[in-house]
Structure 1
Amino acid sequence: MAIEKVRAYFEQFGIADRIKEFHESSATVELAAHALNTEPCRIAKTLSFMLGDKAILIVTAGDAKNDNHKYKSFFGAKAKMLKPEEVDDLIGHGIGGVCPFGINDGVTVYLDESLKRFK
């Protein structure tokens, strides 16, 4: 289960106690914002892509939209999101639980510039 992988990852750094779990779903930006009583833009959204033959993650602000032109300009390839049935095997977390922690080896994580406004 994704939460157990994340907990084990955070335990390495002594911060597992910072994990927040909710009785209600937080699987989407809107649900997570509601659960945390905050604005959707303040939720970090993790998107899964294939870049060549490797899976990558891009973490953006919750209100950020994927810009295919910027993606292609940065990565030199067209954006190709993972299919729902590929996510768990390639990333290590299932749809609705993807985060950049406790992921499979070899998955590179990129932080989008949309996060800079929340320093």
Structure 2
Amino acid sequence: MGIKDVREYLRQWDREKDILEFDTSSATVELAAQAVGVEPARIAKTLAFKNGEGALLVVAAGDARVDNKKFKQEFGFKPHMLSPDEALALTGHPVGGVCPFGLKQDVPVFCDVSLKRFDTVFPACGSSNSAIELTCEELDLYSRNVRWVDVCRGWA
């Protein structure tokens, strides 16, 4: 699971060789920014929330924080993060490497508008020491984004 699944998934766009793997951890926004060499805001973090018996993913800029009121208005329920075990079971990726690619189950993905201010962003690739540089258009396509949402604060 994890990075192997993401590598296979990204092969359909011939992007599997563009995955960056680091000798150090990229499991947090700060560590990922250091590993990649960019400002933390350009890290596209994937947040996993409970949605009934399943989950939904929100991909947001590294400096954005989920706004509970906006989230509830958008999705109709209060945001509750998945536990590490739930995240692994539903996405196939461990916490620190959760990403919207090569998912174990059919989990809907929503990209937050906080990412759109950047030409490129860096989501993880299924492990705690990986990333890939993508345009927002590529992220939209590769993640099978349901739609762009505005559920975060603190980034504008």
Same fold (TM over 0.5): yes
Residues 81-111 of structure 1, C-alpha deviations (whole Å, 9 max, x = no match):
1012211101111111101111123200000
- The one-letter amino acid paired with 1:102 is G
Q: TM-score, normalised by structure 1?
A: 0.95
Is 1:28 the counterpart of 2:28 in the alignment?
yes
> Paired residue for 1:5?
5
Alignment RMSD, CA only? 1.0
8 A Cα contact 2:44 2:60, kept in partner:
yes
Partner of 1:100: 100
**1:51 aligned to 2:51?**
yes
* Secondary structure, aligned partner of 2:94: coil
**Structure 2 gap ranges (5+):** 120-156
Does the CA-based 8 Å contact 2:33-2:43 persist in structure 1? yes
More strand by share: 2
Report the secondary structure of 1:80's partner residue: coil
Q: State the 1:53 CA deviation.
A: 2.4
The unaligned stretches of length 5 or more in structure 1 are none
| Counterpart Cα distance in 1 of 2:103 and 2:81 | 17
Deviation at 1:52, TM superposition (A): 2.2
TM-score, normalised via structure 2 length: 0.73
Matched residues, number: 119
